[in-house]
A and B are shown apart, each in its own frame.
Chain A
Amino acid sequence: MEDKIKIEFDKAFKNYSSNDELNFKKNNLEYFIKNGFPGRKLESWKFSDLNQIINKNIGELNFFTDLKKEISTNKNYITKDIDHNKIAFINGILEEVDFSFEDKDKIIISKEVDTSTKINSENSLLNLNNAFCKNFYKITIPQNYSMNKPLIIYHVSTDNLSSTTLNSQLNFILEENSSLKIIDIYDDKSEKNFINTFYNFILKENAILKNYKIDKSQNSNIKYSYNNIDQSKDSISETFILSNGSKFLKNEINCNLKGQYSSAFINGVFSLDSDKHHEIRTSINHLVENTKSYQLIKSVLDDKSKSVYQGKIYVSPDAQKTDGYQLSKCILLDKNTEFNAKPELEIYADDVKCSHGSASGSLNENSIFYLRSRGLNYKQAKKLLISGFFLDVIEKITDEEIKNFIKKIMELNQ
C-alpha cells in the first residue's frame, strides 16, 4: 500500500499552491502510512476492524480519483421536500455551494485554515482525510445571525466510481449568538468505496448547532464520519443520526464542553437489515462546571445485521455539577443479529449526576399481545411497535420542520 499511496498522493497534489498546507498534508500522510486503517487493537475499534472490513468488502483501495463532475448537471439528488441551502460533494469534491436562502454576504466561506492546530496522530482516518481532502474550507456563521433555512450537505457518488477513498472535510465557526442547521444526505450511486467525512465545529458563546445525519440510500459503501464539536459558554449542539443504508457506517461524535452551561444532545437510530454493520461512538468531555449531555440511541436489527454503540462520558475534576445521561436500547428481530454496547463513564468529579442504561432483547411479547387483542395482526403490531420505538427518538428533534422531513424519510407518518 505504501508505494501506491505515495504515488497517488503526488499525482493528486503535484500543483498544490500552499506550501504550508502541503507539508501538513505530507505529515498526515506519514502518520497514516505508519498507523494504517484502524483495527481491533484500538479500544475505539474493539467491535469492528476497519482493516478487515475494507479487505473483505473492497479489497485494494485507490486513494485518488480524477473522475469529473458530469453528474452536477443532473441534480436529481436534490430533495424538494424542504427549502434549503446546499453544499454538494460529488465524489468527495466540493462542487456546489448555494446559500441563496440567506441574507447576502452573511455566510463567509474561506479557504485558509490554520493547519498548525490540526494534527491529530491518534486517529489515522483523520490523518488520511487531512492528507487527501482536496481543500480545507471554513464556513463562518457571523455573530447574531440565525440561518433562515437549513443547509443540506449532499454527499454524492457516481456510478462509475469504485474501490476508492473519498475524503471530504468542512470546518465551521459559529460566532456568538449564531445558529446553524445542517442535514447530511448521502446519495450513493457508487459501490464499494470508502467514504471518509470529517467536520470540525467551533461554537462560540450562545451558538446553536443542529446536525442531522441521514444515511438512507441503500449502498455497499464503507463509511466513516467524524464530528468534532468544541463548545463555549451557553452553546448547544444537537446531533441526530439515522444509520440505515450503508454496508458499514461508523459515526463518531467527539464533543468538548469547554464553556459553562453548554450542552450536547445526541440522538441516534440504527435501522438495519441484511448483513449491515453500523456503529456510533461518542465521547462527551465535560471539562467545566454546569455542563449537560444527553444521549439516546435505539437499534432495530433484522437478518444478520449488527449495531454497536460505544458511548463515553468523561467528567474532568473541574466539571462539578455535570449532568450526563446515556441510554441505548435495541430490539433484535432475528436470531442472527448482534447488538454490542459499551456505555462508559469516566468520572473525576464528585458532585455529578451521571447515569447510563442499556437494554436489548426481543420485541415485547406482552405489547404484541395487547395490540393483537385489539385486532391488529402480528405484522401490523410489529410495525407499530417499531415505529413507536423509533418515534421516541425522532420526537427529540427540536426543529419541527426537519423533524417532519425526517419522519417522511423514515416513513413514520402513519
Chain B
Amino acid sequence: MLKINNLKANVDKKIILNGFNLEIKAGEVHAIMGPNGSGKSTLSNILSGKKGYDVTGEILFENKNLFELETEERAHKGIFLAFQYPLEIPGVNTNIFLKTSLNSIRKARGEKELDALEFLKIVKEKSKELKFDEEKLGRQLNVGFSGGEKKKNEILQMSILNPKLSILDETDSGLDIDALKIVASGVNSLRKKSNAFLIITHYQRLLDYIKPDFVHVLIDGKIKKSGGPELALELESKGYENIN
C-alpha cells in the first residue's frame, strides 16, 4: 500500500529525515517510535502533504507518486492524518466541516454525496461507538474542546471518513487512560484486511491497546531498528540510547 524509499527532508537546511525507508501492506499496523526531534512529526506532515520541507526520495501510495498529489487529493485517495495538535478553527461548525469533508472524498471516489439526513445518521452511529458527545459537533471546530476531546474528534473523523491508511501522530499524548482506551477501541474496530495504520508515538503505552504488527525505531531521521511488538517493550525498559 505505502512504500517509502530513501526519503530525505530538510527544513531551513537542517536535515530532519535522512534516508528513511518503510513499506506498509494492507491489513498491517506499524508503529514508529522515537525520541523527541527524531523526525516523527515531519514524517506525518510530509505524508499528508504539508509544505515547507525540501524533500527528496520517493513515496508511493498504491503505486502512485504521492509528491504529485495535493493534500486534499491524498485525502481523497484514502490517507488520513490524525493530527498531534488538531487545529481550532473558529466560526466553522464541526458538523458542516465533516459533511463537506466526507462529501468531497465520496465525490472523488465516485460515490454519491450524502444528504443531511444520511450524514447525520452516520455521525450519530459513530459518535455513539466512540462515546463522543454529539452536542459538541454542533460547536465550532475544536474550539473550546479539551485536549482529549480534540483527539477523540480526530478519531471520530477517521471512522467517518473510513480511510485506507490512517496515520496517528502522537494521538496518545495528553490522553487519560479512559480516553486512551476509547481511542484504541476506535482504531481496533476499524482494523480490516483492506486498510492499514501507521502509529507514531513516543511511548509504548498506546501499543498495549493497539497491537502493532511491526515496530520501528526512528532515530536521527532514520529507522535504526525494526521488529515485532516485543521491540516496543524492550524500548520501554532500555530507553532509546541503548538501541542498536
Contact = CB atoms under 8 A, between A and B. Distances in A.
Q: Within the complex, are A and B direct neighbours (CB within 8 Å)?
A: yes
Interface of A: 365-367, 369-378, 380-381, 384-385, 387-392, 414
Contact of B48 (A366, A373, A376, A392): A373
Contacts of A372: 49, 70-72, 75
B155 interface: no
Given A376-B101, A377-B104, A414 B96 contact: yes
B90 interface: yes
A373 B71 contact: yes
Interface in B86-145: 86-87, 89-93, 96-97, 100-102, 104-105, 108, 140-141
B64 interface: no
A371 B96 CA distance: 12
Given A375-B72, A377-B72, A370 B96 contact: no
Given A380-B104, A388-B140, A374 B75 contact: yes
B100 A380 contact: yes
A398 to B, nearest CB: 18
B171 to A, nearest CB: 15
Contacts of B141: 388
A397 to B, nearest CB: 14
B83 interface: yes
A229 B182 CA distance: 55
Interface string B29-49: 000000000000000000011
Interface residues of B, number: 32
Contacts of A392: 90-91
Given A387-B91, A387-B92, A389-B91, A373 B76 contact: no
Given A369-B50, A384-B97, A384-B100, A376 B92 contact: no
B75 A375 contact: yes
Contacts of A387: 91-92
Given A369-B71, A387-B92, A388-B90, A375 B97 contact: no
Contacts of B74: 373
A388 B89 contact: yes
A243 B81 CA distance: 39
Nearest to A389: B91
Interface centre among B87, B92, B97 (most CB of A within 10 A): B92
A392 B141 CA distance: 12
Contacts of A369: 48-51, 71
Nearest to B50: A369
A380 B49 CA distance: 17
Nearest to A377: B72
B183 interface: no
B204 interface: no
Interface centre among B72, B86, B96, B161 (most CB of A within 10 A): B72
Contact of B91 (A373, A377, A390): A390
A375 B87 CA distance: 15
B115 to A, nearest CB: 13
Given A367-B89, A370-B87, A388-B91, A376 B140 contact: no
Contacts of A373: 48-49, 71-72, 74-75, 80-81, 83
A413 to B, nearest CB: 10
Contacts of B83: 370, 373
B157 interface: yes
Contacts of A414: 96, 100
Interface of B: 48-51, 70-72, 74-76, 80-81, 83, 86-87, 89-93, 96-97, 100-102, 104-105, 108, 140-141, 157, 161
Nearest to B88: A367
Contact of B92 (A365, A366, A378, A385): A385
A384 B92 contact: yes
Contacts of A384: 92, 96-97, 100
Contacts of B76: 375
Given A370-B86, A375-B104, 13 more contacts: A369-B51, A371-B89, A372-B49, A373-B49, A373-B80, A374-B75, A375-B75, A375-B102, A376-B101, A384-B96, A388-B90, A388-B92, A391-B92
Contacts of B100: 376, 380, 384, 414
Contacts of B48: 369, 373
23 contacts: A369-B50, A371-B89, A371-B101, A372-B75, A373-B49, A373-B74, A374-B101, A374-B157, A375-B75, A375-B102, A375-B161, A376-B100, A376-B101, A376-B104, A380-B104, A381-B72, A384-B97, A385-B91, A387-B92, A389-B90, A391-B93, A392-B91, A414-B100
Contacts of B91: 385, 387-392
Nearest to B91: A388
A398 B75 CA distance: 38
Contacts of B75: 372-375
Contacts of B104: 374-377, 380
B117 to A, nearest CB: 16
Given A377-B104, A384-B97, A366 B87 contact: yes
Contacts of A377: 70, 72, 104
B122 to A, nearest CB: 15
B92 A375 contact: no
Nearest to B82: A373
B145 to A, nearest CB: 14
Given A371-B97, A384-B100, A385-B92, A376 B87 contact: no
Contacts of A370: 83, 86-87, 89
A221 B48 CA distance: 48
A274 to B, nearest CB: 25
B95 to A, nearest CB: 10
A388 B100 CA distance: 13
Nearest to B71: A372
A366 to B, nearest CB: 6
Nearest to B72: A372
B89 A385 contact: yes
B48 to A, nearest CB: 5
